[in-house]
Amino acid sequence: MADTALLSTPTTEPARVPLVGWGRTAPTIAALTPVHDDDDVRAAVLAASGRGVVARGLARSYGDAAQNAGGTVLDMTGAARVLHADLATGLVDVEAGISLDELMNQFVPQGFFVPVTPGTRLVTVGGAIAADIHGKNHHVAGSFGQHVRWIDLLTADGQVRRISPESDADLFWATVGGMGLTGVILRAQVQMKAIESSRCLVDTDRTENLDALMTLLAETDHLYEYSVAWIDTLAKGKRMGRSVVTRGRFAKLDELPAKRRTDPLKYHGSVKASVPDVFPPGLLNLATVAAFNEVWYRKAPKLKRDQLQSIPTFFHPLDAVGGWNRIYGPRGFVQYQVTVPFGQEEAMREVLDRLSSFGTASFLAVLKRFGPGNPGMLSYPSPGWTLALDIPVMKGLGGLLDSLDEVVIAAAGRTYLAKDSRVRPETFEKMYDRLDDFRAVRKRVDPDGVFTSDLARRLAL
């Protein structure tokens, strides 16, 4: 009886648990603290130990951005309400823990889509702002932060500040892309995108190599609202960079088949299957990935126009498989995402050539074009080419990626913090020319460094 009573006794101490990013590498233990309102957040921040505090949403950052070894991590998913919605303008006021998935489920049937979405809809609004996420439409719509009108930010002194580009531009643009290091995002107002239907008109092209791909995108991307290319990173020689390009836009009501016009905004995102956590190391090897890449490339049409696709099919195909990151086995994987400016195509070619020669077993590799950047001090997108690929942890990978970082730096490029788990601090210093500006704003609002993370310590932010 004594043991039973002891086990059932409630405790106010947060659970100390191992936390990882989506890549499932480098777990660290922190006090995971659920929060539901401003008072919860304020109490946790003011009580934080010397190891500090950082907010965490749905844990889709690939590396260590939402980990805090020995400190406090705030689980923000309990604060996930829509507070106000103006269906005349598409402006919605939301709590930071609400996901893009929930926004789509609530507002697509009412004629609104999120302004920017990455390859997963399982991202919180707070995380979307902190990582300043981008999607297939960056070349025309920019990143998520450009569609945020204001943010309620709880800073290290426990105060809540409503910041905007007009009221405190420096703090706003240090928070957008700032990886949670300026404070806790509590609420935000987001400008949604009006749509007439939940279907996309999609064009597909198959290109033979990297030259053909870059030419196609450079000459025709301006014709499309959304654009992305899947690349076969194992193809070599004249086939290096062969790809499947999918581009499109939302269909208008009169472009739908008659049978779909009765319910044009019908939508529901769902997980169709889940991956068990039993995959052994090495399952994704050169042979299995090469076979997958060949099938994926060959099954795509050489040329197809105006195919109707659903939102999940076009934007979030991997979300249909729950826990797909387990496919990479217990050692996990690294996502390497970099961008180089237009005019530095040879640098991107060098990166792909080295990856192909190394034999990285990546079945998920995408290339896109970025449009203009924004004032975000640590925002990732800038005009140029961006490449992202998942690589299982393997011998020699660290040295390869370090060498690729040097190619990227020489081309005035950068890596993406939301995907990073291994960049060296001296390398990072060379990639972001507004890093000192960010540090100055952070010092102003958090002089004692209350807000921190494993990423922040690793990169000496």
Banded pLDDT at 279 (limits 50, 70, 90): low
Count other C-beta atoms under 10 Å from residue 382's C-beta: 18
Quote the pLDDT of residue 235: 80
CATH topology for the 199-422 domain: Alpha-Beta Plaits (3.30.70)
Q: Are strands 321-322 and 273-274 parallel, antiparallel or unpaired?
A: parallel
Residues 6+ apart with CB under 8 A from 250: 113, 195, 196, 197, 198, 199, 200, 201, 225
Cα 459 from Cα 213, distance rounded (Å): 34
C-beta separation of 54 from 66 below 8 A: yes
Report whether pLDDT(46) > 50. yes
C-beta separation of 97 from 76 below 8 A: yes
Q: State pLDDT tens for residues 92-105.
A: 999 999 999 999 99
Cα 320 from Cα 102, distance rounded (Å): 15
Q: State pLDDT tens for residues 404-452.
A: 999 999 999 999 999 999 999 999 999 999 999 999 999 999 999 999 9
Cα 114 from Cα 194, distance rounded (Å): 9
- Joined together, the tokens standing for residue 182 give 């300026």
Q: Is the dihedral of CA 169, 171, 175, 179 positive or negative?
A: positive
Residues paired with 303 in a beta bridge: 205
- Joined together, the tokens standing for residue 419 give 């995907």
More confident residue, 276 or 448: 448
Banded pLDDT at 1 (limits 50, 70, 90): very low
Quote the pLDDT of residue 277: 63
DSSP 204: E
Cα 408 from Cα 348, distance rounded (Å): 8
Q: Identify which of 197, 169, 188 has the alpha carbon closest to the alpha carbon of residue 374.
A: 169
**How distant is the alpha carbon of residue 95 from its chain centre?**
19
Match 């902190």 to its residue by tokens. 130
Residue 87 dihedral angles phi and psi, to the nearest 5°: -75, -5
Helix (H, G, I), strand (E, B) or coil at 390: strand
Report whether pLDDT(11) > 60. no
C-beta separation of 280 from 329 below 8 A: yes
**How distant is the alpha carbon of residue 339 from its chain centre?**
14
Q: State pLDDT tens for residues 354-402.
A: 988 887 767 678 999 999 999 999 999 999 999 999 888 888 999 999 9
Quote the pLDDT of residue 275: 62
Count other C-beta atoms under 10 Å from residue 57's C-beta: 27
What does each C-alpha distance from 334 to 64, 152, 390 come to in angstroms?
11, 33, 6
Banded pLDDT at 2 (limits 50, 70, 90): very low
Cα 445 from Cα 450, distance rounded (Å): 10
Quote the pLDDT of residue 15: 86
C-beta separation of 126 from 76 below 8 A: yes
Q: Identify which of 367, 379, 365 has the alpha carbon closest to the alpha carbon of residue 418.
A: 379
Quote the pLDDT of residue 9: 38
Q: State pLDDT tens for residues 167-200.
A: 999 999 999 999 999 999 999 999 999 999 999 9
pTM: 0.93
Ordered by start, the domain boundaries in the chain are 199-422
- Joined together, the tokens standing for residue 95 give 């709590």
Quote the pLDDT of residue 264: 97
Cα 446 from Cα 91, distance rounded (Å): 30
C-beta separation of 97 from 128 below 8 A: no
C-beta separation of 29 from 70 below 8 A: yes
Q: Poorest-confidence range of 39-53, 92-106, 295-309?
A: 295-309
Q: State pLDDT tens for residues 107-147.
A: 999 999 999 999 999 999 999 999 999 999 999 999 999 99
CA angle, corner 266, sides to 262 and 270, nearest 5?
A: 155
Q: Identify which of 386, 432, 423, 306 has the alpha carbon closest to the alpha carbon of residue 135.
A: 386
Quote the pLDDT of residue 5: 35
- Joined together, the tokens standing for residue 417 give 């913090």
Report whether pLDDT(59) > 50. yes
To the nearest whole number, what is the mean pLDDT of the chain?
Answer: 91
